[in-house]
Structure 1
Amino acid sequence: MYKERLEIYDQIVDKCPRFDRKGKTMPYTSANGYMFSLLNKDAELGFRYSKEVQEKYIKEFNSNLYKSYGAIMKGYVLIPDNMLTDLDKLAQYLNESYDYVMTLDPK
């Protein structure tokens, strides 16, 4: 399951030319000093948004806050399994996440 999910994650990131996937054991994307997406050890995908967008997408996606290694990741939305078939739409959501972290003060 993890390998298949990693392939999906890589395909989504490949559709977003402004950034690259990083991490060997914990795949993630980052920009401006902030991580904005990651694939956890449970093969769950999370994207980071502002608090308002996070709340909107949790309702819209019928999802939850994203957890990694047992901890709630502040600002992250769990991308539900039923959304993993529309990679173009997920690339739009990932680009939106990138745009969000680029508005934050650089670390």
Structure 2
Amino acid sequence: MREETLKVYDALIAANPNFERKGKTMPYTSANGYMFSQVNKAGELGIRLSKADTEEFDAKYGAEPFLSYGSKMREYVLIPKELLADKETLEYFLQKGYEHVMSLPPK
């Protein structure tokens, strides 16, 4: 499961020049001093979204909390396994996560 998720994640990141994969054991993306996506040890993908984007995601896919190191990640949604095959939707929400952190004050 984790290897499949990482393949999808790496392809998403490679497709967008704004993104750079960071982290060796816990892959993530960040911008403006904030993380906006992560693959946890269980091989689950989480994306940090604004409140409005979380509501949009929840209406379509159900916004489950994303856990990392046993803690609920604030503002993150868990990407359902079946959505990993939908590259277009993942690209859309990953871009939304990027836009959200870029709208925050820089760290």
Identity of aligned residues (%): 49
**Partners in 2 of 1:96 and 1:48 — Cα distance?**
8
Residue 53 of structure 1 is matched in structure 2 by 53
**Partners in 2 of 1:59 and 1:75 — Cα distance?**
16
1:84 is paired with a residue whose SS is helix
User: Deviations along 1:15-72, whole A, 9 cap, x unmatched?
Assistant: 1111211110100000000000000000000000112322331232123011111110
Unaligned runs of 5+ in 1: none
- In the TM superposition, what is the alpha-carbon distance from 1:102 to its structure 2 partner? 0.2
Bigger Cα displacement from structure 2, 70-79 vs 12-21: 12-21
**Partners in 2 of 1:64 and 1:75 — Cα distance?**
11
Bigger Cα displacement from structure 2, 10-19 vs 24-33: 10-19
Q: Is the 8 A contact 2:54 2:63 kept in 1?
A: no
Q: Does 1:44 align with 2:41?
A: no
Q: What TM-score results when the alignment is normalised by the length of structure 1? A: 0.93
Q: What TM-score results when the alignment is normalised by the length of structure 2? A: 0.93
Residue 67 of structure 1 is matched in structure 2 by 67
2:70 alignment partner AA: G
**Partners in 1 of 2:63 and 2:29 — Cα distance?**
21
Number of residue pairs the alignment of both structures matches: 107
**Partners in 1 of 2:75 and 2:60 — Cα distance?**
16
Q: Does 1:34 align with 2:58?
A: no
Q: Is the 8 A contact 1:12 1:88 kept in 2?
A: no
2:98 alignment partner AA: Y
Aligned structure 1 segments of 4 or more residues deviating by more than 3 angstroms: none
Residue 91 of structure 1 is matched in structure 2 by 91
